[in-house]
Amino acid sequence: MTTQQKPDFDCIAVGAGFAGLALIHYLRDAGLSIRVFDRAADIGGTWTWNRYPGAATDSESYYYCLTFSKELLQEWSWTKRYPDWEETHNYLKFVADKCDMRPHIQLNTEIVSAEYQQDSGLWLVKTGDGESYTCKYFVSAMGMISEPQIPSIPGLDTFKGPCFHSSRWPQEGLDYAGKRVGIIGAGATTVQMLPVVAQTAASVTVFQRTPNFVMPAMQKPMTPEWEKEIKDNYDSIIEKCRNHVFGMAFEGPPGRNAVDATPEERERIFEEHWNGSFRWVFETFDDLLADPEANRMASEFIIKKMKERVNDPEIAELLTPKGYPLFAKRPPLDHGFYEAFNRDNVHLVDIKDREPIVEVTETGVRTTENDYEFDIIVLATGFKAYTGALEAFDIRGLHGQTLRDKWKTSSEAIMGVCVSDFPNLFTVTGPQAPFANLPTSIEQNVMWITDCIQKMESEGYDTFIPRAEAEKEWTAHTAEIHDQTLMSQGDKVNSWMMGANLEDKPPRVLIYFGGANIYYDKLRESVESGFPELDFKKSAA
Ligand code: NAP
């Protein structure tokens, strides 16, 4: 280390999920000491918190993984196309054990503040149990969708039964068989949870504000033949992810536009590719997310498919997304969500136009029209995406400013990996990074971070300060692209992709929509040109 006061660790990271494990691998390989803290009782990040029934990935298993070790890729066997939370959790534990990462991880430890010390050039990191540690590099590995958004519905704390956010599903499990369950929210979480809970609950009532474009996941088991094909071709799968706009191992681009196809051709291509996953959006036509007319055609197809699955036309109408383009809200993948509404024990309440929620009572939910009685209420109300975890405790950079102060009205950052005025701080998939297959983005980010630290150490620098001009440039570039996409209409429909779901903040540009592959190229260019976004400094002494 070049900093004069020796820190406890070269690097402290918060979050023992995919990002924390990737950091341990790459930084340990680079000869640095690292400790990863997590307040959870187990490693796994998202996959240790989100234990709600039906929780599963929307990426296909074989590329929702870390790629740094060919041995790991060959040894681990996925059992299905989309692993449930438990399988992904087991995978992460397998990685941690196989790579002997546990000695670097401290669980059950909440970080309550992290402060850059100008005199020593170190970060001072404090835990909830009163311990303090110093490090030269402080890294957020807290995930981009991890901080729950709790709605300000009056009376929430008066309900007598269990009432919790979906990502805080009781770790010890919860017996909902024969119980009346109310779910507030109808996003990706509810889409996964409803069909499973409905199987044994006495009743499930979904309170929906905005209907989504829901596409089928089409789960299937991993056969030995499929596994062999994957394992024989991992290099090209990794390459595909690296070069895809969404970081996924998809084919494409298809090289044709929906608006140029005849109606028959378009219908045929849409039908042929209706095989589950987001592939449908990226492997049918190139213009679905760019051209409003093509987007309308895709939207109509998805709605037609939904109507074939929902028996009651009135319910189908309530489930029909209206007034916004496909992908202005992140579309969920489903495993029987629509069929669940054909069951007698499942009810849908339109809380936007028909009967808004007034309050939660001791016994359930009161709307403008009805009193609904429940034994359990689940708040599947989403997350403070991208910035929420970074704002949940004090992270103080130069001049004592916190990230929370900095991001009151907008969320500027440089490529989602660092923030001006916050020296020696890295964020993995922070604001203004792309929204993509997360393990791909995480690994690309961690490689950039590792290269940066290696430059710091080999050239004897004490500090890097992300440049304000570089942040302005990236923010302007991200905003310009954002404004050209249909995703910019997310503010109409409370999309978390613009922070438009937050009650206390204005919508903002949170995501780089220029393509994950282009973004990964930009990260590489940054490394190759010596990190022009950063000012490197040596201490005077
Ligand atoms: P979400 O998509 O943001 O959905 C939240 C739901 O809660 C929406 O229906 C929203 O209605 C509703 N809501 C929020 N505040 C409310 C209030 N005050 N009153 C009534 N309803 C309210 O959240 P999510 O379902 O947890 O999913 C978030 C993201 O997490 C996903 O898009 C995805 O990226 C990730 N996720 C991934 C997976 C996976 O990959 N398998 C699974 C789950 C989640 P409005 O739409 O009207 O705001």
Q: How far away, in angstroms, is 491 Cα from ligand 1 center?
A: 14
* Ligand 1 and 188: CB distance under 6 A: yes
Q: How far away, in angstroms, is 165 Cα from ligand 1 center?
A: 11
Q: Phi-psi bin for 399: left (phi > 0), alpha (psi -120 to 50), beta?
A: left
Q: How far away, in angstroms, is 189 Cα from ligand 1 center?
A: 6
Ligand 1: atom nearest CA of 208 is 9
Ligand 1: atom nearest CA of 166 is 26
Q: How far away, in angstroms, is 330 Cα from ligand 1 center?
A: 9
Nearest CA to ligand 1 atom 2: 187
* Ligand 1 and 387: CB distance under 6 A: no
Q: What is the tens place of the pLDDT at every residue in 434-454?
A: 999 999 999 999 999 999 999
Query: What is the C-alpha separation between 111 and 124, in angstroms, rounded?
Result: 11
Nearest CA to ligand 1 atom 27: 188
Q: What is the tens place of the pLDDT at every residue in 193-241?
A: 999 999 999 999 999 999 999 999 999 999 999 999 999 999 999 999 9
Structure tokens at 85: 């939370």
Token pair 């070790």 is found at 69
Q: Check residue 4 and give its pLDDT.
A: 64
* Ligand 1 and 526: CB distance under 6 A: no
* Ligand 1 and 283: CB distance under 6 A: no
Ligand 1: atom nearest CA of 212 is 46
pLDDT greater than 70 at residue 521: yes
* Ligand 1 and 381: CB distance under 6 A: yes
Alpha-helical (H) ranges within 144-276 are 188-200, 224-232, 234-242, 263-272
Token pair 């534990």 is found at 93
* Ligand 1 and 189: CB distance under 6 A: yes
Query: What is the C-alpha separation between 154 and 176, in angstroms, rounded?
Result: 25
Q: Check residue 408 and give its pLDDT.
A: 92
Q: How far away, in angstroms, is 149 Cα from ligand 1 center?
A: 9
Q: What is the tens place of the pLDDT at every residue in 293-345?
A: 999 999 999 999 999 999 999 999 999 999 999 999 999 999 999 999 999 99
pLDDT confidence tier of residue 541, bands split at 50, 70 and 90: low
Query: What is the C-alpha separation between 432 and 387, in angstroms, rounded?
Result: 10
Query: What is the C-alpha separation between 249 and 246, in angstroms, rounded?
Result: 9
Residue 199 CB coordination number (10 Å):
16
* DSSP characters over 114-162: EEE-TTT--EEEEETTS-EEEEEEEEE-S-SS-SB-----TTGGG-SS-
Q: What is the tens place of the pLDDT at every residue in 393-410?
A: 999 999 999 999 999 989
To test the ligand 1 pocket, which listed residue (89, 147, 209) has its Cβ within 8 A of the most ligand atoms? 209
- Which strand (E) or helix (H) includes residue 246? none
Query: What is the C-alpha separation between 438 and 450, in angstroms, rounded?
Result: 18
* Ligand 1 and 445: CB distance under 6 A: no
Contact 21, 92 (CB under 8 A): yes
Q: How far away, in angstroms, is 383 Cα from ligand 1 center?
A: 7
Q: What is the tens place of the pLDDT at every residue in 13-29?
A: 999 999 999 999 999 99
Query: What is the C-alpha separation between 137 and 524, in angstroms, rounded?
Result: 21
Q: Judging by DSSP bridges, how do beta strands 425-427 and 163-165 pair with one another?
A: unpaired
Ligand 1: atom nearest CA of 145 is 30
To test the ligand 1 pocket, which listed residue (166, 377, 381, 383) has its Cβ within 8 A of the most ligand atoms? 381
